[in-house]
Amino acid sequence: MGPMEHNGEKFEYQIFVRKLADDETKSYIVPGDKNFKQIKTGDTFQKYEVKVVARNTQGPAIQTPQEVFGFSGMGSKSLLYLYQRGRSHPAR
């Protein structure tokens, strides 16, 4: 996404990740110029719920974040890979 589409300074993504078997949600901040996030989970083939919110100094985006479901890695044990698809929602 180009700087003109950031609509403010300090554009970044806030990623919320929750293992479906748990109640705890973890949050990660990713700079707006990155489209990839690797998260160590410590498990293999577990289902996770992921939400991504774009934000800047003006606040979060007004669009409701879409829930995306993914699984922790099988080949790379303990890693959850998140890739950007479209504008702001990672999936894998």
User: For the domain that residue 42 is a member of, what is the CATH number?
Assistant: 2.60.40
Total domains in the chain come to 1
Its domain, for residue 43, covers 3-91
pLDDT tens figures, 4-23:
555 667 899 999 999 998 98
Q: How far apart are CA 53 and CA 18, in angstroms?
A: 15
| Secondary structure of residue 25 in the 3-state scheme | strand
**Does residue 91 contact residue 68 with C-beta atoms inside 8 Å?**
yes
pLDDT for the residue numbered 79? 54
The tokens describing 43, both together, are: 């498990």
Q: With bands split at pLDDT 50, 70 and 90, how would you rate the model's confidence at 90?
A: very low
Region 40-64 average pLDDT: 89
